[in-house]
């Protein structure tokens, strides 16, 4: 009986400790308010276009791993409408390289921006990763267990995502000069719903998400996130560190 009481007390202690640890992590999560588009949306990749002006700017500035010789300034804005999620990135960059041109190829090797998001607010550990290099080539997966269980989104479905990009499809050799580039896209809800349950955005709904800047195979290798990856591990597939998208 005494051992059973001790075991029960230990279990309660571990539950409290785990809850406290999770609470401390969640205190540090980044939060971004996502507005609904109030007019017909025209995808053109222009950062200062009037349709984006009411959106807050989301700064991707939390370094993961070692400091590169040049740290890009990466930003994003997000909206939604009845059809899907609207995202635009702006990157003030150098040492830009882009050679991947096949859908679902290794775009992370290039100068690239990434959006990881959990569209089912009841399953924040299951998420899509949409990665787009500066030439507008995309990779997309749906992950049920990070790094272990995932579905590669079919090429024809990835190509349903309309993408606007300001740079050419290929940049090779690497360009060491300063350059500002943009990526914008619309992710249809109907595409997401083919692979996962989706809590469609409306006021009061929240998704977990993170935004990243990466260039794995350039002379200026770097890894940068929006919501900080607190354990210091250079791995974007850590949904426990995703921030919060609050839909308005």
Q: What number of helices (H) and strands (E) belong to the chain? A: 3, 16
Note the Cα 177 to chain centre separation in Å.
Answer: 26
The confidence score (pLDDT) of residue 11 equals 42
The confidence score (pLDDT) of residue 25 equals 41
Q: Where are the beta strands (DSSP E) in the chain?
A: 31-36, 58-60, 62-63, 73-80, 84-93, 96-98, 112-118, 127-133, 138-145, 149-152, 162-165, 171-175, 179-188, 206-215, 222-225, 243-247
The residues near 37 (Cβ < 8 Å, ≥ 6 apart) are 51, 79, 80, 81, 86
Written as six digits, the tokens of 9 are: 């007390």
The confidence score (pLDDT) of residue 29 equals 80
The confidence score (pLDDT) of residue 20 equals 39
The confidence score (pLDDT) of residue 17 equals 42
The confidence score (pLDDT) of residue 114 equals 98
The confidence score (pLDDT) of residue 86 equals 98
The confidence score (pLDDT) of residue 28 equals 66
Q: Which domains does the chain have, with CATH numbers?
A: 32-247 (2.60.40.1190)
The confidence score (pLDDT) of residue 2 equals 58
How far apart (Å, rounded) are the C-alpha atoms in residues 179 and 167? 10
The confidence score (pLDDT) of residue 139 equals 98
Q: Whose CA is closest to 182, among 117, 64, 88, 80?
A: 88
pTM for this structure?
Answer: 0.88
Written as six digits, the tokens of 87 are: 């995202």
Q: Whose CA is closest to 139, among 121, 153, 119?
A: 153
Taking CA atoms, 111 is separated from 57, 85, 190, in Å, by 21, 23, 29
The confidence score (pLDDT) of residue 38 equals 87
The DSSP bridge pattern shows strands 31-36 and 243-247 to be parallel
65 CB neighbour count, 10 Å cutoff: 14
Is residue 98 within 8 A of residue 169, CB to CB? The reply is: yes
| pLDDT one digit per residue (tens) for the chain, 248 residues | 555 555 444 444 434 343 434 444 445 689 999 999 988 899 999 999 999 989 999 999 999 999 999 999 999 999 999 999 999 999 999 999 999 999 999 999 999 999 999 999 999 999 999 999 999 999 999 999 999 999 999 999 999 999 999 999 999 999 999 999 999 999 999 999 999 999 999 999 999 999 999 999 999 999 999 999 999 999 999 999 999 999 99
By CB neighbour count within 10 A (0-12 exposed, 13-18 middle, 19+ buried), where does 12 fall? exposed
56 CB neighbour count, 10 Å cutoff: 12
């Amino acid at each position: 009986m005494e051992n059973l009481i001790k075991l029960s007390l230990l279990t309660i202690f571990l539950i409290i400790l785990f809850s406290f640890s999770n609470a401390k992590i969640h205190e540090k999560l980044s939060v971004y308010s996502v507005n609904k588009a109030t007019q017909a949306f025209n995808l053109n990749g222009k950062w200062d276009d009037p349709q984006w002006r009411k959106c807050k700017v989301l700064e991707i500035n939390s370094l993961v791993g070692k400091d590169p010789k040049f740290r890009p300034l990466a930003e994003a804005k997000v909206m939604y409408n009845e059809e899907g999620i609207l995202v635009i990135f702006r990157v003030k960059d150098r040492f830009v390289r882009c050679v991947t041109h096949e859908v679902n190829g290794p775009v992370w090797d290039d100068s690239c921006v990434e959006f990881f998001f959990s569209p089912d607010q009841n399953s924040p550990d299951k998420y899509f990763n949409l990665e787009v290099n500066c030439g507008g080539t995309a990779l997309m997966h749906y992950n049920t267990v990070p790094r272990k269980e995932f579905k590669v989104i079919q090429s024809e479905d990835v190509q349903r995502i309309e993408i606007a990009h300001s740079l050419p499809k290929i940049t090779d050799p690497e360009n060491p000069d300063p350059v500002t580039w943009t990526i914008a896209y619309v992710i249809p809800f109907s595409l997401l719903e083919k692979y996962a349950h989706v809590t469609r955005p409306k006021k009061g709904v929240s998704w977990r998400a993170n935004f990243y800047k990466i260039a794995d195979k350039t002379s200026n290798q770097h890894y940068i996130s929006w919501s900080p990856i607190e354990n210091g591990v250079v791995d974007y597939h850590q949904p426990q560190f995703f921030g919060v998208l609050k839909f308005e």
